[in-house]
Amino acid sequence: MPKHLLPCPLRSISLCPIFLCTLALCALSLGLLSPVTAWAAPASPPDAGAIVEQISQDLDETYIFPQVAREMGQHLEQRLADGAYDDLDLATLSSLLTEDLRSVSHDLHISVFPIPEQEITAGQEVDKALRRARYEADARRNNYGFRKMETLQGNVGYLDLRGFDDASLGGPTAVAAMNYLANADALIIDLRKNGGGSPSMIQLISSYFFDQPQHLNSFYIRRGDRTKQFWTQAHVEGKKMVDTPIWVLTSGRTFSAAEEFTYNLKNMERATIVGQTTGGGAHPVDVHSFPDLGLQMYLPFGRAINPITGSNWEGTGIAPDVEVAAAEALDVAYAQALEHLASKADDPDHRAALDWALSAVQARNYPQQMTSQAMAAYVGVYGPRKIYLEDGVLHYRRGEQAPTALYPMADDLFGLASSDSFRLRFERDADDKVVGLVGLYDDGREQANPRSGDGG
């Protein structure tokens, strides 16, 4: 479990006062997970009055905006007086309290939810060791957010990052990932399913993108009236990528720490943002636990201050540089990366390889439609190669190899769904009849086969 979830002598169980949120918090904040399904409520009926009193007190002491804290507390007290919290189980009450708090603050980081019964000791204290062990196990099973890494055609690196776990846990995995990607000519970082995490991981990953230390972000903390700055590190393990162009993919599910990472790189003009406007959660939070009442809450205690804008993305999200549907963001960013690399390629072979990859991405971005009659013109046998129509889709098969679907790329040019390195170009005679095909390889080789039969 990250340090922001570790207990301390205060009700706020935090040893590290700066962080954004864990994946569980982000799921709650974005409505992807409900307290009812995530935590089992105690069997005893909740004391709604004591709960409202405790939450109101902690809001007054901690919430970043004192006036809003008072308004939230007054709203809860009025709802309590109106009987809105009567006869509810703890899970339902927690969900309603969250809804009521957000209706005043519009702060998606605020969440109230039951503490799992197994985390509360007989002495009505939080079992800190169990909580940490469960978090660490979950973080490891999720590979600290590093879901997928690969090198796309054209030497474009791709990282699917689902969370920013604290660097004290996920640091070695992050270092391994960044070293794997270090030789890419361009980099795509996919945050479309990233709900946030810790600024320490933002620091570590961002440090690979700058030659000298850079001021990333600051957090103003209400209690103590102080500000903490975050900078990139001068030294990292492995090779830096200071000249590598970067694209960051976003969606409405991109939240909290994932937004900070995006906001930082966008305002530092270090990345192009592609996708949708993000969720809009900029406040760092603590976990406040009330084991005697059976619940806990995520409570924002500060606000982010970007050194360039002097502001943050709270409540507004981050608008992308290129706005497209989240599902299309990868192909759009990939095409931009290939176009950028091709524009700078001096070697003809390198340029040809980039153009090859780009044409496939463009075909996916702008798919061509074909009638059944048009597709039927290609059906036939071409030496060892066979083209046939099945369920309205052209298929290709060579010998005893497994068949694969074809997709149109241009007039008489088709790509294979199963291969990035091979394509088919059909040839026609003077009467516009298909009379042969040519197998095209990404290394420039061609292999022609005349049409030898019309069997489908």
Q: 108 and 152 share a domain?
A: no
* CA–CA separation, 275 and 258 (whole Å): 14
In sequence order, what are the residues at sequence separation of 6 or more whose Cβ sits closer than 8 angstroms to the Cβ of residue 425?
412, 413, 414, 437, 438, 440
- Which amino acid would we find at residue 455? G
Is the separation of the CB atoms in 146 and 161 below 8 Å? yes
Strand ranges (E), 327-403: 380-382, 385-390, 393-398
Residue 86 and residue 178 in one domain: no
| Same domain membership, residue 411 and residue 381 | yes
Token pair recorded at residue 289 = 């636990």
My answer on whether 128 and 163 are in the same domain is no
Q: Give the model's pLDDT for residue 36.
A: 38
Q: What pLDDT does 30 receive?
A: 37
CATH code of residue 378 = 2.40.128.50
Interval 135-158 mean pLDDT: 96
Answer yes or no: is 430 within a domain.
yes
Contact 336, 247 (CB under 8 A): yes
Residues 166 and 303 in one domain: yes
Q: Between 145 and 45, where is the model more confident?
A: 145
Mean pLDDT within 257-280: 98
**Furthest-apart CA pair in the chain: how many Å?**
90
Which pLDDT band, with edges at 50, 70 and 90, does 367 fall under?
confident
Domain that holds residue 129: 3-136
β-pair partners for 392: none
Cβ neighbours of 305 (radius 10 Å): 16
Task: Look at 454 and 149; give whichever has higher pLDDT.
Answer: 149
Using the predicted structure, report yes or no on whether residue 195 has a pLDDT greater than 80.
Answer: yes
Percent of the chain whose pLDDT exceeds 90: 82
Q: For residue 73, what are its two tokens?
A: 């507390």
**How does residue 241 score in pLDDT terms, banded at 50, 70 and 90?**
very high
Tokens (6 digits) for 11:
């009700």
Q: pLDDT tens digits for 72-110?
A: 999 999 999 999 999 999 999 999 999 999 999 999 999
Q: Decide if 70 is inside a domain.
A: yes
Query: 26 and 255 in contact (C-beta within 8 Å)?
Result: yes
197: tokens are 């995490």
Instruction: Measure Cα distances from 273 to 21, 156, 319 in Å.
Output: 22, 16, 8
The answer as to whether 44 is a domain residue is yes
Of the candidates 228, 231, 180, the one whose C-alpha atom is nearest the C-alpha of residue 210 is 231
Residue 456 has pLDDT above 70, yes or no: no
Q: Give the pLDDT of residue 155.
A: 97
SS3 10: coil
Q: What is the predicted pLDDT for the residue at 272?
A: 98
Of 29-33, 36-40, 398-402, the range with the lowest mean pLDDT is 29-33
Q: Which two tokens stand for residue 90?
A: 């703890």
The candidate with the shortest Cα–Cα distance to 255, out of 21, 10, 77, is: 21
User: What span, in angstroms and rounded, lies between the C-alpha atoms of 336 and 272?
Assistant: 10
Mean pLDDT of 236-261: 97
Q: Pull the structure tokens for residue 15.
A: 């040893």
Cα–Cα distance measured from residue 429 to residue 188, given in angstroms and rounded to the nearest whole number: 44
Task: Give yes or no for residue 211 having a pLDDT over 90.
Answer: yes
147 and 130 fall within a common domain: no
> Are 152 and 126 part of one and the same domain?
no
Which of 263, 324, 259 is CA-nearest to residue 108? 259
Q: What is the tally of helices (H) and strands (E) in the chain?
A: 12, 20
Q: How far apart are CA 289 and CA 348, in angstroms?
A: 63
Q: What is the pLDDT of residues 415-447, one digit of tens each?
A: 999 999 999 999 999 999 999 999 999 999 999
**In this structure, what token pair is assigned to residue 57?**
């007190």
Do 291 and 125 contact (CB within 8 A), yes or no? Answer: yes
pLDDT in the model for residue 124: 75
- Interval 194-207 mean pLDDT: 96
81-91 CB burial, b ≥16 within 10 A, e <16: eeeebeebebb
Q: What is the model's pLDDT at position 43?
A: 52
Interstrand relation of 186-190 and 156-161 (parallel, antiparallel or unpaired): parallel
The yes-or-no verdict on residue 35 having pLDDT over 50 is no
Q: Is 151 inside any structural domain?
A: yes
Q: What is the CATH number of the domain that holds 254?
A: 3.90.226.10
pLDDT in tens, 281-304: 999 999 999 998 999 999 999 999
* Whether 188 contacts 157, CB under 8 Å: yes
**Residue 27 clears pLDDT 60, i.e. is over it:** no
Number of domains into which the chain is organized: 3
Confidence of residue 126 (pLDDT cuts 50, 70, 90): confident
Q: What is the pLDDT of residue 37?
A: 37
Q: Are 398 and 385 in contact (CB under 8 A)?
A: yes
Least confidently predicted of 113-122, 329-338, 353-362, 430-439: 113-122
C-alpha closest to that of 127 among 117, 114, 138: 117
Residue 358 in any domain: the answer is no
Looking at the structure, do residues 147 and 88 belong to the same domain, yes or no? no
218 and 254, same domain (yes or no)? yes
